[in-house]
A = this chain, B = another copy of it.
Amino acid sequence: MANIEAIRWVDGNLVLIDQTKIPLSLEYYTCRDYGDVIHAIKEMIVRGAPAIGAAAAYGVATAARDLKCGNEGEYLEKLEKACQEIYDSRPTAVNLMWAVDRQRKAIMSVAARSGGSPTLESDMERELLLEANLILKEDIETNMTMAGHGQEVVGSGYTILTHCNTGALATGGYGTALGVVRKAHESGKNVFVFADETRPRLQGGKLTAWELLQEGIPSKLIVDSTAATLIRDGRIDVVLVGADRITRNGDTANKIGTFMLSSLAKTYNVPFYVVAPTTTIDFDMECGSMIEIEERDKSEMTHMNGIRVLPDEIECFNPAFDVTPNENISGIITEKGILRPPFSESIAAIRR
């Protein structure tokens, strides 16, 4: 079990580890209202698809905590407005949409049960918090289960390549791809990790390398392009990455650079696994070309920790994600087991 608790409900408020401050400083960000939760998601104070999902669920609970109205129709309308604002805070993370939709179901269920009753608002507040707690707890359990399934692809003494952060900071608590690494380490497999620093925001350097250090897992940080030489030279036994969204055919949107790794891994016959809970699968999407890729502000490239590195006149193209085609993926490690190609079949099977 990881000791890092990135998402907690403390004294009636959502409290997040401020991931923009890690690793030089460990600070917490308290969300006083649901607007703070949206701010935290937008500004990447909380990041990683499952962590965003859990935070979003607490965001809805926070809205319900604060919303006092009296008029039932107006109350539900305002709650739905909060849901939609949270839902819209990042375009790519399917867990965000999934978590908000789950809270919407809870809202409907409470409204059906307590509608017309004076306890509606307090029932809602209580139930939405319970649901958020459940989403967080399920996420951690899911991660542990995934990590168990993932052991099949990690041998003793393996060198593992990771991208971005997929650990305790990115999730409810244990990690997706990094959860598999954590479990392998805990099992005494003597794994070694090369962690991509993951430009532009350096989540690999700031978060993954920091987590690996906390856990005592031997590792070295590399610039993203060094991965190519390591893969070619047979120095990587397996590549493990997370996912922001997986479509019905297995195409996977993840942090920019993931596709690069997948293509090189395929060329040089290195196993390439996506580690993600089944909530990351968007059953409404046929294939990766349908995924909208968020383009982020160029200040991510022109600045570092708020300090200007490049002049503003320089134009940038800064997509946050790329899409890895299913043919580059050896398997998708989920809490329901490892999905294998052809993914349109294995994904359809778990849906049933």
A positions within 8 Å CB-CB of B: 23-24, 194, 197, 199-200, 202, 205-206, 209-210, 213, 219-229, 232, 256-257, 259-260, 263-264, 267, 301-302, 304-305, 307-311, 313-319, 322-323
Q: How far is the CA of A259 from the CA of B226 in the complex (A)?
A: 9
Contact, CB under 8 Å: B304 / A221: no
The minimal Cβ–Cβ distance linking A319 to chain B, given in whole angstroms, is 6
The minimal Cβ–Cβ distance linking A330 to chain B, given in whole angstroms, is 17
The minimal Cβ–Cβ distance linking A310 to chain B, given in whole angstroms, is 5
Q: How far is the CA of A241 from the CA of B311 in the complex (A)?
A: 24
Q: Is chain A's binding surface mostly helix, strand, loop or mixed?
A: mixed
CB-CB < 8 A to A199: which residues of B?
A: 197, 199, 223-225
CB-CB < 8 A to A307: which residues of B?
A: 304-305, 307
Q: How far is the CA of A235 from the CA of B155 in the complex (A)?
A: 39
Q: How far is the CA of A210 from the CA of B24 in the complex (A)?
A: 30
Which 7 interchain pairs have the tightest Cβ spacing? A225-B257, A228-B260, A199-B223, A304-B304, A220-B317, A209-B314, A225-B260
Q: How far is the CA of A77 from the CA of B326 in the complex (A)?
A: 64
The minimal Cβ–Cβ distance linking A266 to chain B, given in whole angstroms, is 8
Contact, CB under 8 Å: A304 / B309: yes
Closest Cβ neighbor of A194 among chain B residues: B317
The minimal Cβ–Cβ distance linking A65 to chain B, given in whole angstroms, is 37
CB-CB < 8 A to A220: which residues of B?
A: 315-317
CB-CB < 8 A to A302: which residues of B?
A: 205
Most buried by B among A225, A259, A263: A225
What are 30 sample pairs from A and B whose C-beta atoms fall under 8 A apart? Answer: A23-B311, A24-B311, A199-B199, A199-B223, A205-B301, A205-B302, A206-B310, A210-B314, A213-B313, A213-B314, A219-B315, A220-B316, A221-B301, A222-B316, A222-B317, A223-B224, A223-B301, A224-B224, A225-B260, A226-B256, A226-B318, A228-B257, A228-B259, A229-B260, A260-B264, A263-B264, A263-B267, A264-B264, A304-B305, A304-B307
Q: How far is the CA of A93 from the CA of B220 in the complex (A)?
A: 26
The minimal Cβ–Cβ distance linking A349 to chain B, given in whole angstroms, is 29
Query: Looking at the complex, which one of B222, B223, B228 makes contact with A263 (CB distance below 8 Å)?
Result: B228
